[in-house]
Amino acid sequence: MSDMTANPDEQRLAPERRAVGALGDRIFHGVTAASALLVLALIAGIAVSLVIGAWPALAKFGFGFLTSSQWNPVTDDFGALVAIFGTLVSSALAMAIAVPVSFGIALFVTELSPVWLRRPISTAIELLAAIPSIIYGMWGLFVFAPFLSDNVQPWLNDAFGDLPILGYLFSGPPIGIGVFTAGLVLAIMVIPFITAVMRDTFEVVPPVLKESSYALGATTWEVVRSVILPYTKTGVIGGIMLGLGRALGETMAVTFVIGNAHNIPNGLFYPGNSIAATLANEFTEASGGMYTSALIALGLVLFVITLIVLVLARLLLLQLSNQEGR
């Protein structure tokens, strides 16, 4: 197809111009290809250096590194379970809150909001996305944690603390610092990202599709479910994955509020630890080869978790497009 469109252009061009253009094309192709390959080389380089750095720890602890909740720099006994648990649970909590809220914001802004309100909301979301994560961390520690500790956690403790499953979610010392707070702060941090992506994809749905459905008598919800979501599912899932990736890797904000304790929390209000927070806290001061190696191994685990998340997202999209073909 590109040949067909290129030919008439070439005929109009003078021969020397065409030669320069062809050379330029080749250079351009080379430069862009090199840039793209650089990314692959970087990924491979990071993976290799992580594996090399983590090797002493992986060789010593083996698979047990993933399942041990020990983290003892004195006896050089390390396991990643506490950090993996904290990372996954805080991110899951963040996504459970952020995805519905973001979806609501994006839908309201693109479909339901009065026109004059759209720009202020959109601008506010973009501003939220631009705030550095350390600001969220400081706000979480100095404003949000005391608020949770004084007003929210005691109440949640009383109301739900004795129930079987909800009890786990809402139990622990009401000190405002712990996995629960980390999840909430993460949710606030990723909402602007997910919302921005969702809003942009909702906006590109051709009006003619929506108008046709409305003309057929569809309600707003039916248009959202049957027209907008199928049309934009790649973008929506992409936005969610972007937010999840950010939540998994978020360092400073989590370090401030998660409590940095290497113990499996007995409830979400208990302090815990995440992979990124452990690295931020301990890497500069880690003395001894095994300690450093265990920290690099933690980095490798985070790398693999992120990879798995991306692969799952791809598989999900693949399955969705297969269903479409039916």
Phi, psi of 71 (to 5 degrees): -150, 85
Give the span between the Cα atoms of 197 and 246, in whole angstroms: 14
Q: Least separation, in Å, of the C-beta of 307 and other proteins?
A: 27
Closer CB to other proteins, 79 or 192, in the complex: 79
Among 47, 280, 290, 309, binds other proteins (CB under 8 A): 280
Residue 254 CB burial class (10 angstroms; 0-12, 13-18, ≥19): buried
Given 259, 276, 298, 313, the residue binding other proteins (CB under 8 A):
259
Select the span of 6-14, 175-183, 199-207, 306-314 touching other proteins (CB under 8 A).
Answer: 175-183
Q: How far is the CB of 80 from other proteins (least distance, A)?
A: 14
Please give the Cα distance from 81 to 60 (Å, whole number): 16
Report the residue number, 290 or 309, with the smaller CB distance to other proteins. 290
3-state secondary structure of 77: strand
Token digits of residue 177: 């610092």
**Side-chain-side CA neighbours of residue 96 (13 Å):** 10
Q: Which of residues 132-151 bind other proteins (CB under 8 A)?
A: 141-142, 145-146, 149
Among 53, 56, 73, 235, binds other proteins (CB under 8 A): 73
Q: Does 161 bind other proteins (CB under 8 A)?
A: no
304 residue type, one letter: V
Instruction: Find the helix or strand (DSSP H, E) in which 72 lies.
Output: strand 71-72
Stretch 260-279: interaction string toward other proteins, x if CB under 8 A: xxxx-------x-x---x--
Q: Is 70 in the site for other proteins (CB under 8 A)?
A: yes
